[in-house]
Amino acid sequence: MAAKARLLFTRNFASNLDSIEQFLGREGGSAFKRLLARIFDDICPLLARFPLAGRSFLGRRVGSAEGRSLLKRLRGMLRAGDEVREFTVDDYVVLYLVRGSRLYFLAIKHRGQLSFGLSRHWG
């Protein structure tokens, strides 16, 4: 049996959670609590055991010139063997990096939010 991946959360991921809580507003308190439960009770155990469960983020088809440029920059920041993947659960998309035996949670967004904004993470 393969060892489980070590899970690490970036500051950007934590900041995204704060943004989601604000995005959901006061009425979304129970939805935010459900999200946290899904992350820690479902997503973390699954990805620790099967880190490649999400789909390849770098394998997506990008139509815009700006998107292609950003993807090229992202590829330039990665090390050999790194995998950037996305995992969708309920109304959320989680972006994460698999680097060796470590899994870094990079970003999370509600489907109603616009972009990941990784500049602070890679800065």
Residue-wise pLDDT for 69-91, tens only, equals: 988 999 999 999 999 999 999 99
Q: At which residue do the structure tokens 């991946």 appear?
A: 5
Residue 51's closest CA among 111, 100, 1, 121?
Answer: 100
Q: Tell me how far apart the alpha carbons of residues 4 and 60 are, in angstroms, rounded to a whole number.
A: 27
Is 33 within a domain? yes
Q: Please name the helix (run of DSSP H) or strand (run of DSSP E) that holds residue 55, with its range, or none.
A: strand 55-56
Q: Which domain holds residue 63?
A: 6-122
Is 110 within a domain? yes
Say what the pTM is: 0.87
Q: What is the CATH number of the domain that holds 26?
A: 3.30.2310.20
The tens digit of pLDDT for each residue in 44-72 reads: 999 999 999 999 999 888 889 998 998 89
Is 91 within a domain? yes
Is 77 within a domain? yes
Is 54 within a domain? yes
Is 1 within a domain? no
3-state helix, strand, coil in the chain (%, to 5): 45, 25, 30
Q: What's residue 112's pLDDT?
A: 85
Provide the number of structural domains found in the chain. 1
On the CB side of 66, how many CA atoms lie within 13 Å of its CA?
0
